[in-house]
Amino acid sequence: MLLDEMARQMAPLVPSGMEVLAGLEMGGIPAVAALGRHMGLPCALVHKRAKPYGTCRLAEGAEVEGRRVLIVEDMVTNVGRIVLSTAGLWRLGAQVGEALCVIDREQGGTEDLLAAAAADR
């Protein structure tokens, strides 16, 4: 029930035209699953790094190549993980330009993410 309510409140924050929701391992997985179910959007799980076994892929689930992808994370403290995951998704051909976090720990992560985005432009 809590995840359903979170998804309901986050859904209006998802930019229009998103094709895939990408949850960052591990914390973003419950959030992306609930949000994807609520919005009817496919989801991908983004590992910290491609595993050397199994499928050996960085992103599992929905195909990200050539698609508009929104990163979903449980909380932001600093932006290291979001920036690294974005770079990995770009290498896979994903169009990533936004991230959505459930909790901002108010330790400068949001400001750092905005600065990192501005530096990429």
Task: Dump pLDDT digits (tens) for 106-121.
Answer: 888 878 877 877 777 5
Q: Is residue 120 part of a domain?
A: no
Find the domain containing 48 and state its range: 2-115
> What is the per-residue pLDDT across 54-84, written as a single tens digit (0 to 9) for each?
899 999 999 999 999 999 999 988 778 898 9
CATH code for position 76: 3.40.50.2020
CA gap 21, 64 in Å, rounded: 9
Cα 8 to chain center, whole Å?
17
What is the Cβ-side half-sphere exposure of residue 106, based on CA atoms within 13 angstroms? Answer: 0
The confidence score (pLDDT) of residue 100 equals 95
**For residue 96, is it within any domain?**
yes
Domain count across the chain: 1
